[in-house]
Structure 1
Amino acid sequence: MTSDLRRHGETGSAVRAAELIVSSARLRELSECSALLRRTRLRAEEIVKEARELLAEAERQGDPDRILALSVQLDEARRAYRKVVTAYVTICRRIREERQEIDQARMTLVRLSLTD
């Protein structure tokens, strides 16, 4: 039984088929990372909300030491959330680019197979 790469007549089409396989694997990995970042982003949102609620409670109680400490914690939670969102947006962009590359590779393979 021959491999998928050997079925293609031209070296160029074999290389493109290999690139398609690698791109598909990369896309799966990126999708897994995206799912993890999505869950992390949701948890980070919860943490920011909880920190905001704790700060509001401290403000209602008029506890200046607690207000200061919770303000710092809220700022840290917001910074961490921004980092997670930035990473999530970046990986979503990379997934979109990878899908475009896969589509282009497939179209090239179709064109090459039509000319064989």
Structure 2
Amino acid sequence: MGNELHKQLVAHAKVIYAAEDIIASARLKELYECSELLRRTRVRAEDIVLDARLMLADAERQGDIERIVALSASVDQARAFYDKVLNAYVTLCCRIREESKALLDSADLSGAA
């Protein structure tokens, strides 16, 4: 009877590990999808900063003080937005790395590897 109980506990543990792996894999997939969206947003934000800088350089060449002031503020805003997106992207990439490592570690512990 004790042996049968042990077998049931082992089978139950395997099911739990499998479910946890499925959940972790799904979460990791979601994180990868978010990172792809953030990557595209980061690239777009980078383009906006570049465009704003080019417009500012044009205003500076033309000596248009009003545009220089306005575009300087725009460059600062664009850069601040880019920094936020970049920080979010880096944070998410770190989180993906941590969760991937945890998933691999749990696979090693469960004997799945």
Indicate whether the TM-score tops 0.5. Answer: yes
Question: CA–CA distance in 1 between the matches of 2:48 and 2:80?
Answer: 12
1:108 offset after TM fit, Å? 1.4
Give the TM-score of the pair, scaled to structure 2.
0.87
1:14 offset after TM fit, Å? 2.5
2:79 corresponding residue in structure 1: 78
What RMSD over aligned residues (CA atoms) do the two structures have, in Å? Answer: 1.7
2:49 corresponding residue in structure 1: 48
1:33 corresponding residue in structure 2: 34
1:11 offset after TM fit, Å? 3.1
CA contact (8 A) 1:52 1:74 kept: yes
Question: CA–CA distance in 1 between the matches of 2:86 and 2:39?
Answer: 9
1:104 corresponding residue in structure 2: 105
1:68-99 deviation digits (Å, cap 9, x = unpaired): 00000000000000000000001100100110
Question: CA–CA distance in 2 between the matches of 1:46 and 1:8?
Answer: 56
Unaligned runs of 5+ in 2: 1-7
Report the residue type matching 1:94 in the other structure: R
Helix, strand or coil for the counterpart of 2:10?
A: coil
With over 3 angstroms needed to count, the CA separation of the structure-2 counterparts of 1:10 and 1:95, relative to structure 1, is same
Number of equivalent positions? 105
Question: CA–CA distance in 2 between the matches of 1:93 and 1:20?
Answer: 20
CA contact (8 A) 1:51 1:70 kept: yes
Question: CA–CA distance in 2 between the matches of 1:16 and 1:91?
Answer: 25
With over 3 angstroms needed to count, the CA separation of the structure-2 counterparts of 1:100 and 1:8, relative to structure 1, is farther
1:8 offset after TM fit, Å? 8.1
Helix, strand or coil for the counterpart of 2:42?
A: helix
